[in-house]
Amino acid sequence: MGQSYPGAQAIVFDLGGTYLRCGVWRSAAGVSSLRRVKIATVWQGQPSSVVWDGIRSQLEDYHQSVTPAVAAEAPIVVSFPGPIEDRRKILSAPTFLGDDTAIPDLVGQLREDTGRAVYILNDISAAAWYLSSKTRADRFMVVTISSGIGSKIFDRKHPAGVIESPAWAGEIGHMTAEDSPDAARCDCGGRGHLAAIASGRGIERAARRCALDEPDAFARSMCVGRYGATAITLSNEEHLVPAALAGDEWCLALIHQATRPLARVLLAVILAAGLERVIVIGGFALSLGSVYLQILRGELTAVCRYSVINDEIDSLVELGTGCEEACLMGAGSFAERLLRVRQ
């Protein structure tokens, strides 16, 4: 007999650039029956059609596993890493499809596969809905540092709550942070974008380039000596993050350099929008925890030379601790708001 979910209100998915997270959400108990699956991307050499078919198969498989215990009227809500139009149309999906513009109709496919109402929202919009219940700030920004970089502003006094219109609202990862013709290429195809430099994926790629260009310095790092990396196998999860947490100077210098342009962008938004808080989430930032927070605060302090705000930098920026499932929980929070409006 399948597990039952009393009061279930939605089946929720968080489709990230690296993992697909799945769950059943109900207002009284949050998300249950969690499943996390690593997904294929075009960056691993897979054709985009294969990537998409794999994602669709995983979504349908999870739906089949829980559908006997979930009411037929419960909707599906998908948190997605890219700009969304009218909560149904994906405009781009660079973190796992690259610059491929042939993006399938995910909402239509899921409706066909499941027979349920389906909604899709930007993943950081979802996280902002969740984090709005965890902070007292009236106007704050959520920024994710993971496979890519994205952000959303939440304003309690605005009727929409999350400022997600127009579709490019919060897409700071695609600002040009470096103008040189050989600047790092973003997953979307553009060069010098902030995400290509300061995201977890961007930092990993920069580290591999540095390992090839400066083999002696790389050889002296903990990535090699303690964790057995090579310039080809070097990765965030197995080498860069554990070495940085252990205080490796080579890794920390790389992260500092990559984070500097992010600090400039965040400071501009803080000043322009009058933000009371910036909450940092995302797999890369959260895996480094206080080390990443210290680096970001340090870089913000270095670029901020305005006496009115200088003393506020440390209190303005915080980690969304315990937020690994923030986007999934946010999809549930959105479902609750949606159902409440219907009633």
Look at residue 342 in the predicted model and tell me its pLDDT: 54
Structure confidence at residue 343 (pLDDT):
47
For the chain, which residues make up each domain, given as ranges?
8-123+325-342, 135-319
CATH number for 8-123+325-342 (one of 1.10.12.10, 1.20.120.1750, 3.30.420.40, 3.40.50.800): it is 3.30.420.40
Pairing of strands 84-85, 76-80: unpaired
Print pLDDT tens along the chain (343 aa).
345 555 668 999 998 777 899 999 887 778 888 899 988 887 778 888 888 889 999 999 999 999 988 988 899 999 988 888 888 888 888 777 777 667 889 999 999 999 999 999 888 998 998 899 889 999 999 999 998 999 999 999 999 899 988 989 999 999 999 999 999 999 888 999 999 999 999 999 999 999 999 999 999 999 999 999 999 999 999 999 999 999 999 999 999 999 999 999 999 999 999 999 999 998 899 999 999 999 999 999 999 999 999 999 888 999 987 667 888 888 988 888 777 655 4
Contact in structure between 99 and 189 (CB atoms under 8 Å): yes
Tokens of 33: 């029956």
Looking only at the bridges linking them, the beta strands covering 149-155 and 162-163 are: antiparallel
Are 80 and 123 in contact, with CB atoms under 8 Å apart?
yes
Tell me the CATH class for 135-319: alpha beta
Q: What is the 3-state secondary structure (H, E, C) of 74-129?
A: CCEEEEECCCEECCCEECCCHHHHCCCCCCCCHHHHHHHHHCCCEEEEEHHHHHHH
Token code pair at residue 55: 């994602």
Which contiguous run of DSSP H or E holds residue 261? helix 249-273
Where does residue 205 rank: exposed (0-12), middle (13-18), buried (19+ CB within 10 A)? middle
Domains 8-123+325-342 and 135-319 in one fold: yes
For position 5, what pLDDT does the model report?
A: 56
